Structure 1
Amino acid sequence: MEEFIAGRTEDRNREMAPKEKFSKLFEELKSCSVSEQKEKIKEMNRLMEEMNKEELKYVCTTELFNKIDQMIEEEKLTMENAILLLKHMGYCNMLLNMINLSFMDSSLSLGFVKMIVKEDKKKEERNEKLLTELCECYLLFNVGTSSQLISVCVPCLLKASLKKDENEEAQKEKEMALLALCNMNVYNKVEIALYLNEIKEIIQYHQKHRNLTRLAYQSAWGFLMTEFFNDKSLEEVITNELHFAREVESELDGLMQSVDWKKKEEEMEKTERKAMNIISRWIRSICHYFYSCHLWNEECVELISRIVDVLLASRDNHSEIGEEYIQSFIVVAKNGAVIFDVLLKSGAIDAAFEEIQRRTLNRVMTSEILRFFHLISMRLKEKEDGEMEEAKRKELKRKIFEKMEEEGFEDIITSFFEKFSYIFANHDVFIYL
């Protein structure tokens, strides 16, 4: 009889959705031994890897974080086990490119701030591993961070990322540290000059030894490119010393080969979904670069060509990636330093023409491509300084409008320009970069 009941219970558990299994296991943590807690948390972490965004939002609530804080306070959950759960929870949120504000609204967030400050003040006696993990947990969930915590967390996580060990566990730890650093946004004022040597060393060491995972490498660049958005003096280092465009072009090429683009997301293997998420994560860094870059070279053309490849490969089953990547064309078109020959040579204009003629094109992509065309039209109507530059502009304008006429778009673009100009002049319209 007992075996029958146990079997029925096991069947019911199998029928439960991952988010429901997660909640059930979480409630069981209070009455478990430390070792039992650890095993249950490992299962909870596995379940989170199966969840989509909506399911992860369902479990990652302010209420859950408050309960974790209370369990730590009442010594019903060890700090080691709490960190094991929270780090993976933050990792899964980041991998799905989620912004989760629930942690910031919880008592656990304040508790972590106090623990980080307290551990940092210990100086020689402090537990470096604990401090690193506390910083990781905090930054993985917090898009806004105080200058006091930045001065503690940034050097701590960079130090952890600089370790040269290349075994699987060390790679995972470096990935986590860099992923946490990458989560800071452009409003977090980091004095990058204090940390430039460290992040350069991390990137250059990987370029030579390939010691980071693809996600960790993307995150290292993500941290640096966020600071580039605020500090344009980094351009020479990023473009000519670290070769951002060349490196991203190579990374996107490798990631694209890891994905069977004929599959829909639900049909993909776990490794394929992760590769897709990393491809998606690159777009913010690419846009930051194109927005601020004035040192255009052949590497930039190759990068835009690779973005065209991503756009075309993703259009049938993963159009949301195409929607993200068309943003980079828009940013390029808005960059006053860009000669439009770059967009012709890279295939970006051809790809936009090809995309907008597809019958299955959705409203978002249509809007983004029309904005791209509109920006080109506006830029081509601008006057250039000097007879030589003006002559180049006119020749380029002739080439582009010939292509538009060839594709049947010349009258349409002119019409868009007139209508958009009227709308922008007479209505309060917000244009997203």
Structure 2
Amino acid sequence: MSTRDGTETENTKKSTELFSQFGDDSADEQKLKIEDIYGVIERMSKEKFHRIFNRKKFNKMQKMIDERKMTLENAILLLKCIGYCSSLKSEWTFYFYESSLNERFQKMIIEEDEKKEGKDEKLLVDLCECYIFLSCKFTHELLSICVPCILKVALRKEGNEESQREVDFALLALSNIKYTKVEKELYLTEITEIIRFHQEHHNLTLLAYQSAWEFLINRLLRDKSLEEVIVNELQFPRAATRVLDDMVRFVDWKKEKEEEKEERRKDKHKELIILRWLRTLERYFHNCTTWKEGNVELINSLVQLFRAAKYNHRKIGYKCIDILLITLKHGAAGVDGLLKGGAIDAAMEEILQQTLNHSSMWNCLRFFEVILEKLKEEEDDEKGEKEDDESEKMKRKEVKRKVFEKMEEEGYEDCTLSFQNIFDLLFMQMAYDLIDVHHHNILELMMR
């Protein structure tokens, strides 16, 4: 058994033991155990997380509340810890949505909201955050209650640690609403104010700021009119460029991996936040395709992050290459923009590395394949548009010349003498990785 597998097994046992003892503990003892559980699930893999916090577990919590073995306050605290960890890691908890506890919370949200007198605002916020954190589907009725309720918390501008933590929770919860339509009147004024205030006063943590942007950019999928707000009014390309530049400057990308346990935990937390920012960039480039010139500086910052992270933080490096490919495929930047932003140089550097693995090789080759496809499309457009402006034609020819010169200078031609063979080889390597080593004879038979 590997060290990682052993640690995973210990985490699973510890969290199961802590949870099973809840019914025998006082409310204060339960709170202490919840802190321990939070520490355990923070280190847990996705697979173990979903194995432990399944529908049966959530139904058991509902039963424990009914039997007064767990207070509602402690149940909410535990659910918010679970929701915080799963959302930070960008994982959905499907099982809560199917549980009786979810049904109970939905009913409580509606009942609390409908109270004319004696409404418990804190309880309503807690219930709404649990629902948004842990559900994978949302009803229009509950969103119309939860989104404004949570945004009230996110709008707080107090500088103390407790208030900042509540804002973090609120915005992280909202970012979990991914594909469901949310009416503009429920959020646009407030989320715009939150982002603008931070841009002037820097009151949010990096996680909260990213979560605010993610919530807004997630809405683009169903409302393209938000492009104007995101790009022109709130200037996302400029804001994201600053964030990426700060990451490159202030993260110790060359740090050795033998540092103290607490330092490793902090580094993992930073890595998760950086990956969340990259995911937001991915969605932005996927949906905002009319702002090509304004994206050049952002692409350059993404390239600098890739160069900083590619040796000791390969997961971040891979994601950067993925995003550069998306900008090209979806038209968020033309070949000239990628050239100016340094993306072609970065991909060339990566593809010529002797230590390149097949996943990175595949992405880089695909990147250049799409570049060649785009140049061919522009050439076909040029032939079909005889009345096209002469300066535009010259510009396209100049871009093409620069791309091919750069590829020739760096020796890309040598790498692509057997371009199709490389793809075939990589495909077979990926197939091999999917087949258990004990069944190697199957692969041999396939290759005959």
- Range into which the TM-score falls when normalised by the shorter chain: 0.7 to 0.9
- CA–CA distance in structure 1, aligned partners of residues 110 and 9 of structure 2: 41
TM-score, normalisation: structure 2: 0.84
Cα offset, 1:197, TM superposition: 0.9
CA distance 1:361–1:123, change in 2 (3 Å): farther
Which residue number corresponds to residue 394 of structure 2? 391
Q: Does 1:66 align with 2:59?
A: yes
AA partner of residue 366 (structure 1) = M
Q: What's the counterpart of residue 344 of structure 1?
A: 339
Q: Which residue of 2 aligns with 1:431?
A: none
Q: Which amino acid aligns with 1:372?
A: F
2:16 to 20, 23, 31: 23
Is 1:240–2:232 an aligned residue pair? Answer: yes
Q: Tell me, yes or no, if the aligned pair for 1:373 and 1:413 is still in contact at 8 Å.
A: no
Describe the shift of the 1:112–1:266 C-alpha distance in structure 2 as closer, same or farther (beyond 3 A). farther
Distance 1:114 1:134, change over 3 A: same
Q: Note closer, same or farther for the CA distance 1:330–1:414 as it changes in structure 2 (3 Å cut).
A: farther
Amino acid at match of 1:136: E
Shift of 1:44: 1.9
1:426 match: none
Structure 1 equivalent of residue 409 of structure 2 = 406
Q: 1:185 to 1:266 in 2, by over 3 A?
A: farther
User: Residues 197 and 414 (structure 1 numbering): CA distance in 2 closer, same or farther, change over 3 Å?
Assistant: farther
Report the Cα offset of residue 265 of structure 1.
6.7
Structure 2: runs of 5 or more not aligned: 1-6, 424-448
Residue in structure 1 matched with residue 275 of structure 2 by the alignment:
280
Aligned partners of 2:353 and 2:421: how far apart in 1? 24
Separation in 1, partners of 2:83, 2:258: 22
2:349 is aligned to 354
Contact conserved, 1:287 with 1:331, CA < 8 A, in 2? yes
In the aligned structure 1, how far is the partner of 2:177 from the partner of 2:318?
A: 24
Aligned twin of 2:295 = 300
**How far does residue 295 in structure 1 lie from its aligned partner after superposition?**
4.6
Q: CA deviation at 1:258?
A: 4.4
Is the 1:45–1:89 contact (alpha carbons within 8 Å) kept by the matching residues of 2? yes
Q: 8 Å contact 2:292–2:333 — kept in the other structure? A: no
Partner Cα distance (1:192, 1:379) in 2 = 36
User: Which residue matches 2:95?
Assistant: 102
Question: Closer, same or farther in 2 for the Cα pair 1:414/1:402, shift >3 Å?
Answer: farther
Instruction: Say if 1:418 and 1:272 are closer, same or farther in 2 by CA, change over 3 A.
Output: closer
Query: Distance between the aligned counterparts of 2:79 and 2:40, measured in 1?
Result: 14
* d(CA) in 2 for partners of 1:291, 1:255: 22
Q: Which moved more, 1:293-302 or 1:81-90?
A: 293-302
| Pair 1:179-2:191 in alignment | no
Render the CA deviation track for 1:201-246: whole Å, top value 9, x for unaligned. 0001111111111101100000001112322211222112211111
Larger mean CA deviation between 316-325 and 75-84 belongs to 316-325
Distance 1:338 1:313 in 2: 22
User: In structure 1, what is the equivalent of residue 190 of structure 2?
Assistant: 198
User: Quick one: distance in 2 between partners of 1:265 and 1:201?
Assistant: 40
1:105-120 matches, within 5 Å, as 105-120=98-113
| Superposed displacement of residue 407, structure 1 | 2.2
CA drift of 1:270 comes to 2.3
In structure 1, what is the Cα distance between the partners aligned to 2:366 and 2:412?
14
1:372 equivalent in structure 2: 367
Q: Which residue of structure 2 aligns with residue 311 of structure 1? A: 306
CA contact 2:295–2:333 (8 Å) conserved in 1: no
Distance 1:381 1:80, change over 3 A: same
Q: What amino acid sits opposite 1:174 in the alignment? A: V
Whether the aligned pair in 2 keeps the contact of 1:283 and 1:324 (CA below 8 Å) is: yes
Query: Given the superposition, is the C-alpha separation of residues 62 and 269 from structure 1 closer, same or farther in structure 2, using an over 3 Å criterion?
Result: same
The Cα of 1:331 is off from its aligned counterpart by 1.6
* Alignment check: 8 A CA contact 2:158 2:164 kept: yes
**Ranges of 4+ aligned residues in structure 1 off by more than 4 Å:** 263-268, 410-420
Q: Secondary structure at the match of 2:82?
A: helix
Alpha-carbon deviation of 1:133? 1.0
The answer to whether the aligner puts 1:163 opposite 2:195 as a matched pair is no
Measure the CA separation in 2 of the matches of 1:274 and 1:243.
27
Q: Which moved more, 1:407-416 or 1:154-163?
A: 407-416
**Residues in 2 aligned to 1:419 and 1:16: alpha-carbon distance in whole angstroms:** 40
Which amino acid in structure 2 is aligned with residue 171 of structure 1? Q
Tell whether the 8 Å contact from 1:228 to 1:234 is kept in structure 2 after alignment.
yes
Matched, 1:327 2:322: yes
**Paired amino acid for 2:227:** E
- Report deviation, 1:296: 3.0
Give the Å deviation of 1:144: 2.2
Q: Identity of counterpart residues, as a percentage?
A: 48
Structure 1 Cα separation of the partners of residues 417 and 331 of structure 2: 21
Shift of 1:199: 0.5
Q: Is 1:270 matched up with 2:262? A: no
Q: TM-score, normalised by structure 1?
A: 0.86
Aligned residues: 406
How big is the shift at 1:97? 2.3
Q: In the TM superposition, what is the alpha-carbon distance from 1:83 to its structure 2 partner?
A: 0.8
Match of 2:122 among 114, 120, 129: 129
Q: Is the 8 A contact 1:259 1:276 kept in 2?
A: no
Matches of 2:85 and 2:168 in 1, distance apart? 13
SS of corresponding position for 2:252: coil
Alpha-carbon spacing, 1:170–1:38, altered in 2? closer, same or farther (3 Å): same
Contact kept? 1:229, 1:289, Cα under 8 Å = no
Q: Does 1:224 align with 2:226?
A: no
Q: For residue 387 of structure 1, what is the amino acid of its counterpart?
A: D
Matched, 1:289 2:281: no
More off after superposition, 120-129 vs 219-228: 120-129
Counterpart residue identity of residue 279, structure 1: I
Q: Distance in 2 between matches of 1:231 and 1:336?
A: 18
Structure 1 position 262, deviation (Å):
2.9
**In structure 1, distance between residues paired with 2:269 and 2:292:** 31
- Secondary structure of the corresponding residue to residue 216 of structure 2: helix
Amino acid at match of 1:374: E
